[in-house]
Amino acid sequence: MAAVADVASAAPIRVEVTRKIFPAAGGRDAQLVLQDVAFEVEPRSFLVMTGPSGCGKSTLLNIIAGLDTDYDGTIDLGPGKDRLTYIFQSPRLLPWRTIAENIALVLPEGDPRHANIPEMLERVGLTEAATAYPERVSLGMQRRAALARGFILEPEILLMDEPFVSLDDPTAQSLRQLLMDLWHRQPTTVIFITHDRSEAVQLGTRILRLAPGQASVVQDAQVNLTNAQRLDRAAVLAEQTRIFATA
């Protein structure tokens, strides 16, 4: 991983959520979702949050993203807060705009980065699909377009919520490699959610495991893999066994 820290992004992201409650609605009681979750994310690290479904991972990510402001606690995103990108679980492309238009839309008019769009499309393998509408291409291609849309902004903070879920294995694997490739070119602080342990180990430099029920951190582990080892299934599996056996 690239470790060229500049002064602007040297400060870590600080997350502290003391309490998050879903209010009672539609016959369901109020529900305590998060309690006393606190951690820091080093600049340009790749943090993976993992845990069973319904443990509050996505809620936590929405809070970090600023989409959910109804919680007790503080989030300090540091100087990178204005360059934050969120890649959602579903691609969330505008179906009535072509793939290239969807990517161009997030850049202001006249932004010099418009010139980078063809190269970005090339990198994610969507050059030929650039003028297609999202619903006319496969889910894997839509996810690649969502990645390209996020990366064209050259974000300092990148939040990702299971962006490769419900894809067949080769497609998911190719997208993971694409993500690693893009992350090496544009070092970014990443917070990535998954419940796939192998994916967690392959991508992350650090893994946070959240407990079921009201999410709290139960394990905080560094991933000790070189970039080459991350492409080696056996090495990934060994590291996965080491990390996940300890809890």
In terms of CB distance, is 131 or 246 closer to other proteins? 131
Write out the two tokens for 73: 């606690």
Site residues (CB under 8 A) for other proteins, limited to 10-69: 65, 67
Residue in 95, 118, 212, 213 binding other proteins, rule: CB under 8 A: 95
Q: How far is the CB of 140 from other proteins (least distance, A)?
A: 5
Cα 218–Cα 166–Cα 102 angle in degrees, nearest 5: 105
| Position 229 contacts other proteins (CB under 8 A) | no
| Position 118 contacts other proteins (CB under 8 A) | no
Which residues is 17 bridged to in the sheet? Answer: 37, 73
In terms of CB distance, is 132 or 217 closer to other proteins? 132
Element holding 24 (H helix, E strand): none
Report whether 64 contacts 75 (CB < 8 A).
Answer: yes
Q: Segment near other proteins (CB under 8 A), from 1-9, 18-26, 73-81, 94-102? A: 94-102
Which phi and psi (to 5°) does residue 178 adopt? -65, -45
| HEC-encoded secondary structure of 157-194 | EEEEECCCCCCCHHHHHHHHHHHHHHHHHCCCEEEEEE
| Position 188 contacts other proteins (CB under 8 A) | no
Residue from 85, 142, 152 nearest 117 by CA: 152
In terms of CB distance, is 184 or 242 closer to other proteins? 184
| Position 165 contacts other proteins (CB under 8 A) | no
Element holding 37 (H helix, E strand): strand 31-41
| Position 97 contacts other proteins (CB under 8 A) | yes
Residue in 112, 170, 228, 234 binding other proteins, rule: CB under 8 A: 170
* R_g of the chain computed on alpha carbons: 18
Letter string b/e over residues 191-214, b meaning 16 or more CB atoms within 10 A of that residue's CB: bbbbebbbbbbbbbbbbbbbeeeb
In terms of CB distance, is 150 or 209 closer to other proteins? 150
| Position 173 contacts other proteins (CB under 8 A) | yes
Residue in 2, 10, 24, 94 binding other proteins, rule: CB under 8 A: 94
Number of residues that bind other proteins (CB under 8 A): 39
What residues line the site for other proteins (CB under 8 A)? 65, 67, 84-86, 88, 90, 92, 94-97, 105-106, 123-125, 128-129, 132-133, 135-141, 144, 149, 153, 168, 170-171, 173-174, 177-178, 181
